[in-house]
Amino acid sequence: MYKINENYLKLPGSYLFSTIGKKVRAYKEANPDKDVISLGIGDVTQPLAPAVINAMHKAVDEMGKKETFKGYAPDLGYEFLRKAIVLNDYKNRNAFVETDEIFISDGAKSDSGNIGDIFSKDNKIAVCDPVYPVYVDTNAMAGRTGDYLEDKQKWSNVIYMPCVKENNFAPEIPEETPDIIYLCFPNNPTGSTITKDELQKWVDYANENGAVIIYDAAYEAYISEDNIAHSIYECEGARTCAIELRSFSKNAGFTGTRLGFTVVPKDLKCEGVSLNSLWARRQGTKFNGAPYIIQRAGEAVYSEEGKRETREQVAYYMNNARVIREELKSAGYTVFGGVNAPYIWLKTPDNMTSWEFFDVMLNRANVVGTPGSGFGPSGEGYFRLTAFGEYENTIKAIERIKNI
């Protein structure tokens, strides 16, 4: 008799956003006349940039002609895209990354889940708490996290690094030494980040302790302050301890277009074994590349028009973030984030739990946000709002929240 992966049965309930979806659907069914505004899931609302649209039309035409038709893509992705990435995301920021260290993918969610494939089951992971649920869930599926302790809302074999108001939402070096450290800056969900100097400390720590950092830089386009690294490879020594995940979802609105990449430096070795080779083998065996049309779309993001147009999108969302932050602050809420990230992280008022506040927001303001506790136990008592809505809706939502 065949056997299933029993680790899946340890996963608590359903994925956070599925639960929210169900609650919202139930409310809408019971209140069909209400206009519910979502500042919940981190999905963008602005259309793709004209430069991207033009590039895709051109690529679609190429696929329709025998002379320019494209079959299987090169294993790592097309060189035109990997070159544009190296130049714009790394060389221009004085970070050394080569084209054969870039692996084009269908997005950072896939990569952040799949990257675990190349590591042994016997690694102890450390995560910021709260954090994007995919890091922990995918490690739970792989059997790395021990058992889920319902009362503590924690896994028994995970090192949680609390990121709370008291430490300015910056993780501290944990007492126990982890093997794999997940860092995401600017952070989802807290919207906070750390300085380049602080990040350098993590790089040094990883190199000194034989740990590897999985660095999720999906929100780097939202960084507005100077002393913050856009890539971990801006830090000295990161090439021997860090893998970086990047996404086109938030900087260019590709949530429904699907494109991302992972950087695995050739200097990253575990007892002489190159992680770049392992990931190349993993992707070459279990993945067949992102569509040609979408890779051309990604290339267009780096064109002059593409850069200008996507910068405008980011500015649009960051204006939303500013409005949410300032308005809620003036209404007496304690708010964080929204300066270098499209997320606003607020303290729930009157010691409400995150889910209690979710219900108040849904029922009394008809606004959907994300309960902080869904991102980890230290998220309890917090609530996430995203700046990815339309401006008009964002204004309306904030007015309603102020009137609760």
Site for a second copy in 252-291 (CB under 8 A): 253, 255-258, 270-271, 273, 275, 278, 281-282, 284-291
Distances (CA, A) of 379 to 169, 314, 316, 347: 11, 26, 27, 9
Distances (CA, A) of 176 to 148, 159, 305, 386: 19, 8, 48, 33
Asked if residue 98 lies in contact with residue 86, where contact means CB atoms within 8 angstroms, the answer is yes
Q: Which of 22, 31, 34, 50 touches a second copy by CB under 8 A?
A: 50
Q: How far is the CB of 227 from a second copy (least distance, A)?
A: 29
Please report whether residue 141 would count as binding a second copy according to CB under 8 A.
yes
Please report whether residue 12 would count as binding a second copy according to CB under 8 A.
no
Please report whether residue 44 would count as binding a second copy according to CB under 8 A.
yes
Terminus-to-terminus CA distance in the chain, angstroms? 57
Q: Which stretch binds a second copy (CB under 8 A): 36-44, 93-101, 156-164, 166-174?
A: 36-44
Please report whether residue 245 would count as binding a second copy according to CB under 8 A.
no
The Cα–Cα gap between 187 and 349 comes to: 22
Nearer to a second copy, 82 or 90 (CB): 82
The Cα–Cα gap between 100 and 109 comes to: 21
Q: Which of 53, 170, 352, 395 touches a second copy by CB under 8 A?
A: 53
Tell me which DSSP letter residue 345 carries. Answer: E
Among the listed residues 261, 254, 341, the one whose alpha carbon sits nearest the alpha carbon of residue 300:
254
Helix axes 50-63, 304-330, angle to 10 degrees: 140
Please report whether residue 316 would count as binding a second copy according to CB under 8 A.
no
Nearer to a second copy, 35 or 197 (CB): 35
Quick note: the x/- pattern for a second copy over 56-75, rule CB under 8 A, is xx--xx-xxxx--xxxxx-x
Interface with a second copy (CB under 8 A), residue total 81
Q: Which stretch binds a second copy (CB under 8 A): 43-51, 156-164, 230-238, 344-352?
A: 43-51
